[in-house]
A and B are shown apart, each in its own frame.
Chain A
Amino acid sequence: MTALEAWTRCTHVADRWLALLCALLVMGACIETLGDSGEEIVVIRDAQAKETLWPLGRDKVSQVQGKLGPVQVEVRDRRVRLLEYRSPRLVGTMTGWIHRAGQVTACIPCGIVIQIKGNRAEKMTPAQDTYDGIIR
């Protein structure tokens, strides 16, 4: 049985319209997310909800304190990744590098969230860019 036959056998007209509607909805949301790009910074939120901003273009390896212990955050070649030492499933580590505005990597048990932001509201000024990191 081909995929088309399987699709025809298992769907009504309403099913096809619903599938299409859902696909358009998801595509629209993705396009909306992609459009939100500009100067890229890394937002690191630790277990105490403290946010640190970091330029994506500046390579650095640092440790952030998580609920289960320290978590290593590595920024390299305009990419960022999270390396967990103690986490039940190491999902953040398995996510690997993220490099585009809007992408998120997180260690939920540790309470660490890393996001690349690119919208103009979060754009860093040249003066801010001279610092290693900004705590807010």
Chain B
Amino acid sequence: MNPDSETLPLTVRPELQVVYWSAAAVTAHLLESGLPYPGPWFKPGLANIFVLVAWMQLGWRAAIGVALLRVFASSLIMGTFFSPTFFLGLSGALAALLTMGVLGLTRLRIGPVGLSIPASLAHMTAQVFVAQELIIGHPGVFTALPWFLIGSWITGLFNGLVACFILQRLERGGLANSQEQGKVNWQRGSCASRE
């Protein structure tokens, strides 16, 4: 083992990091889909942790790449490509990205938790709208939306905190050294401990 390995900066090209985060997101999505969960639309959305990390570390383009790669790759693997499930996932991902984009446009210093909770609510709302339009065709589903949003708020908080811990860990571990080379975009916000 190289004795300097602990002190050497770990630099990974941004495009490779997008691939890594996408792979992690797809893996999380596939693992999660096999787990039992307490009710419909109460999946924790662990894949979104890696979208958040990509957003904070690499910027919005990378996050869009990770989110779309996750949706397309996981649907291809699970055999749900162009099925209603695919469109539910795609609409949720796009709504979450749009929300994060709007929040990113503000001058506020928003970290992963602040991005994650509104994005999670937008994700759920978009999914229910698409389910109502494409599948159910019954407005009654909206009466359940507020209760689904409670679950979304909790999972959004959890995912934001996990993303924050990953980012802090990366920073300590050396990946954030690429920030010094201008490859990491922290401008949109960061974990509070960085201040």
Most buried by B among A22, A26, A36: A26
CA distance A104 to B41 in the complex (A): 12
Question: Are B113 and A102 closer than 8 Å at their CB atoms?
Answer: no
CA distance A18 to B121 in the complex (A): 12
Kindly provide the distance from the CB of A41 to the nearest chain B CB, expressed in whole angstroms.
12
Kindly provide the distance from the CB of A111 to the nearest chain B CB, expressed in whole angstroms.
7
Question: Are B40 and A45 closer than 8 Å at their CB atoms?
Answer: no
Which chain B residues numbered 127 to 145 have a C-beta less than 8 Å away from chain A?
A: 131, 135-138, 140-141, 143-145
Question: Are A6 and B147 closer than 8 Å at their CB atoms?
Answer: no
Question: Are A10 and B165 closer than 8 Å at their CB atoms?
Answer: yes
- Which residues of the other chain, B, contact A16 by a CB distance below 8 angstroms? 114
Question: Are B140 and A18 closer than 8 Å at their CB atoms?
Answer: no
Question: Are A14 and B146 closer than 8 Å at their CB atoms?
Answer: no
Given A18-B110, A108-B84, A113 contacting B141 (CB threshold 8 A): yes
The verdict on A32 contacting chain B, using a C-beta distance below 8 Å, is yes
Chain A interface size band reads 35 or more
- Which residues of the other chain, A, contact B164 by a CB distance below 8 angstroms? 9-10
The verdict on A61 contacting chain B, using a C-beta distance below 8 Å, is no
Contact among B137, B140, B161 with A10 in the assembled complex (CB-CB below 8 Å): B161
The verdict on B61 contacting chain A, using a C-beta distance below 8 Å, is no
Most buried by B among A10, A12, A49, A108: A10
B contacts with A, residue count (CB < 8 A): 42
- Which residues of the other chain, A, contact B108 by a CB distance below 8 angstroms? 14
Which chain B residues numbered 93 to 118 have a C-beta less than 8 Å away from chain A?
A: 103, 108-114, 117-118
CA distance A50 to B45 in the complex (A): 34
Given A14-B114, A108-B84, A115 contacting B147 (CB threshold 8 A): no
The verdict on B153 contacting chain A, using a C-beta distance below 8 Å, is yes
Question: Are B153 and A22 closer than 8 Å at their CB atoms?
Answer: yes
The verdict on B160 contacting chain A, using a C-beta distance below 8 Å, is yes
Kindly provide the distance from the CB of B73 to the nearest chain A CB, expressed in whole angstroms.
20
Given A18-B117, A115-B140, A10 contacting B192 (CB threshold 8 A): yes
Question: Are A12 and B110 closer than 8 Å at their CB atoms?
Answer: yes
- Which residues of the other chain, B, contact A9 by a CB distance below 8 angstroms? 164, 168, 191-193
Interface string of B166-195 (1 = CB under 8 A from A): 001000000000000000000001011101
The verdict on A135 contacting chain B, using a C-beta distance below 8 Å, is no
19 chain-A/chain-B pairs, Cβ below 8 angstroms: A8-B192, A10-B113, A11-B113, A11-B192, A12-B110, A14-B114, A19-B114, A22-B121, A25-B149, A43-B140, A49-B137, A92-B40, A94-B40, A102-B144, A103-B143, A104-B144, A106-B141, A108-B136, A115-B140
Residues of B within 8 A of A (CB): 39-40, 84, 103, 108-114, 117-118, 121, 131, 135-138, 140-141, 143-147, 149-150, 152-153, 156-157, 160-161, 164-165, 168, 189, 191-193, 195
